[in-house]
Amino acid sequence: MKFDDYIYDLSSPGRTGVDLPDPDVPETPIPEEFLRDDLPLPELSLPQVTRHYLRLSQKNYAVDKGFYPLGSCTMKYNPKVNEWAARLPGFANVHPLQDPHTVQGAMSLMYELQAMIGEIAGFDAVSLQPAAGAHGEFTGVLIMRAAQLARGETQRHKILVPDSAHGTNPASTSMAGFTAVQIPSDKDGNVDIEALKAALDDEVIGIMITNPNTLGLFESHIVEVCNLVHEAGGLVYGDGANLNAIMGIVRPGDLGVDVMHFNLHKTFSTPHGGGGPGSGPVGVTAELAPFLPGPIVDMTEEGDEYVWRTPEKSIGRIKSFYGNFGVMVRAYTYIKMHGAEGLRQVSEIAVLNANYMQARLLQMGDYPIPYGHRFCKHETVAQGKIPGAEGVHTLDIAKRLIDYDFHPPTIYFPLIVSEALMIEPTETEDKETIDAFLDALDKIADEARENPELLHEAPHNAPVRRLDEVRAARHPILVRLPAPAT
């Protein structure tokens, strides 16, 4: 069998994986007109299925395998007890529409999680319904819209988005029907205050701000930014993707942020699943609480029972049921094991690790760091501009890192740094690993100068060589099914 057999190539007529019991009730004929002619699914036995997926898994890089410093994604260790918890039958085998009396345990977990993450980030109310960060952003922007409409501010239609923002910020803005207005950054990587002032008028719904921002820097004028926006009648949205840098250090709500999403799959250690599921709860001030999507979990006045409640002026439901509950269980477990002091330590060490990398990279001198004159927070953004190796690009460096058995950092983001290498070590790495990664970057810089071809053709020891992405996009093949039997 070839290593990369396609699943349909393993199929043979008549094989079955799973046997099911015969009907224990009288059968009811199914009217012919409804029936499909063929069901072109593969026919496999379970040993084949097991081997197929195990082999595929071995062609994947992952946090459990090695260092994964993918900037902005907080690829920290995913605790195994979280997985255990989410699989408890009392969580995994519970139907969302059961009578609330029969799911008080699950509701209490959600209630406590709402309260704990609200406390961590300084918000009065939280909805756990959004499925991911971008979904939380969209929810938040709709909340800002609803709040502005409730204030009678119907003329407002613009949302200010710094040029360093993640692509989901402007995309969420336009999905909500608004215009994204880009605000430049200043030479220190902060929002340019003068540009902000010039952009603020009575057409502005608010600003979306990421803090620490995607340059890995704390917005040192954050209080002034919030004040200016509020004075102009706007609201402040906080992209909480980078909360891992500031737990127990500062609360966005205290700084003037009105609404923020959390990424439970980043900050609170829930696994990224190869791209998801995530969970993107939204926290808000008391003023915005009535607009949250519902239902959220509340407690009766007597304090003896958890109940579902949809806020009075809710923007509406943003997802079926209550959100990605299985992800919430993991985040809950993580927070309960850390407590206030543990979470602060998480952020301190995440920031220590990032600054250690930044300091050593600056010392190495091969990878310029445009904002290296400041301490970073959870990540640092360097450039793949190795002196003396002008033909070598960030992509080549990233691919060469694969040969050293590391996952490359985020590349070409944020857009305002050319040839960006966005490196986020997280707190769960040991110093030896971080040093080995830095040593690899050091060696790669030498290779880039001495033997650039080595980089252009990298990776050399991955399961496949560089893939032809242009071809994939020009003639998209998204599905491959065997030709129908004749």
Partner 1 sequence: MRYIPLTDDDRRAMMEAIGIEDIDELFADVPAEFRYPDLQLPAPLTEMEVMRELDMMAAENANLREFASFLGAGAYNHFVPAIVDTIISRGEFYTAYTPYQPEISQGHLQAAFEYQSMVAALTGMEAVNASHYDGSTAVAEAAIMAVNIQRHKRRTIVVSPTLHPQYREVLRTYVQGMDMKVIGDETHDNDFHALIDLTDDDTALVIVQNPDFLGQLHTPQEMQDLADAVHAKGALLAVATDPIALGILKPPGEYGADIVTAEGQVLGNSLSFGGPYLGIFAFRMKHVRKSSGRLVGETVDADGNRGYVLTLSTREQHIRREKATSNICSNQALNALAAAAYLAAMGKHGLRKVAELSWHKAHYAAQQIHQIDGYEVVMDKPFFKEFVVKCPRPVAEINRYLLEEYGIIGGYDLSRDYPHLGDAMLLCVTEMNTREEIDDLVIALGEAQSPHIHLNLEVSL
Ligand X SMILES: Cc1ncc(COP(=O)(O)O)c(C=O)c1O
Q: How far apart are CA 190 and CA 225, in angstroms?
A: 10
Given ligand X, partner 1, none, residue 34, with its beta carbon under 5 to 8 Å by kind, binds partner 1
Q: Which residue is nearest to ligand X (CB)?
A: 133
Q: Dihedral, CA atoms, 294, 298, 301, 305, nearest 10 degrees?
A: 130
Among 111, 123, 291, 322, binds partner 1 (CB under 8 A): 322
State the nearest-atom distance from the C-beta of 124 to ligand X, in Å.
23
8 A C-beta contact, residue 148 and residue 156: yes
297 binds partner 1 (CB under 8 A): no
In this complex, which beta carbon is closest to partner 1, that of residue 449 or of residue 454?
454
31 binds partner 1 (CB under 8 A): yes
In this complex, which beta carbon is closest to ligand X, that of residue 164 or of residue 353?
164
Neighbours of 433 (CB within 10 A): 16
Q: How far apart are CA 283 and CA 281, in angstroms?
A: 7
Site string for partner 1, 350-389 (x = CB under 8 A): -xxx-xx-xxx--x----------xx-x------------
In this complex, which beta carbon is closest to partner 1, that of residue 425 or of residue 449?
425
Of the candidate spans 230-238, 329-337, 416-424, 440-448, the one that interacts with partner 1 by CB under 8 A turns out to be 329-337
Q: How far apart are CA 21 and CA 113, in angstroms?
A: 41
For 55, which DSSP code? Answer: H
Of the candidate spans 193-201, 283-291, 340-348, 379-387, the one that interacts with partner 1 by CB under 8 A turns out to be 340-348
In this complex, which beta carbon is closest to ligand X, that of residue 143 or of residue 386?
143
Given ligand X, partner 1, none, residue 49, with its beta carbon under 5 to 8 Å by kind, binds partner 1
1 binds partner 1 (CB under 8 A): no
Given partner 1, ligand X, none, residue 72, with its beta carbon under 5 to 8 Å by kind, binds ligand X
State whether residue 299 is helix, strand or coil: strand
Given ligand X, partner 1, none, residue 7, with its beta carbon under 5 to 8 Å by kind, binds partner 1
In this complex, which beta carbon is closest to partner 1, that of residue 286 or of residue 479?
479
State the nearest-atom distance from the C-beta of 271 to ligand X, in Å.
13
For 291, which DSSP code? Answer: G
Closest among 447, 267, 257, 277 to 346, alpha carbons compared: 267
73 binds partner 1 (CB under 8 A): yes
Place of tokens 């269980």: 329
Q: Is 304 exposed, middle or buried (0-12, 13-18, 19+ CB in 10 A)?
A: exposed
Task: Quote the crossing angle between the two packed helices 431-450 and 394-403, to the nearest 10°.
Answer: 120
Q: How far apart are CA 37 and CA 43, in angstroms?
A: 16
Q: Which residues pair with 298 in a beta bridge?
A: 307
For the record, the structure tokens of 439 come out as 């040593």
Place of tokens 């939204």: 282
105 binds partner 1 (CB under 8 A): yes
Q: Are strands 158-162 and 204-210 parallel, antiparallel or unpaired?
A: parallel
State the nearest-atom distance from the C-beta of 442 to partner 1, in Å.
14
The binding site for ligand X (CB under 6 A) comprises 72-73, 132-134, 166, 168, 210, 214, 239, 241, 263, 278, 280
Among 64, 186, 450, 453, binds partner 1 (CB under 8 A): 64
State the nearest-atom distance from the C-beta of 125 to partner 1, in Å.
16
Buried b vs exposed e over 332-357: b needs ≥16 C-beta within 10 Å? bbbbeebeeeebeebbeebbebbbbb
**Residues of span 164-203 touching partner 1 by CB under 8 A:** 166-168, 170-180
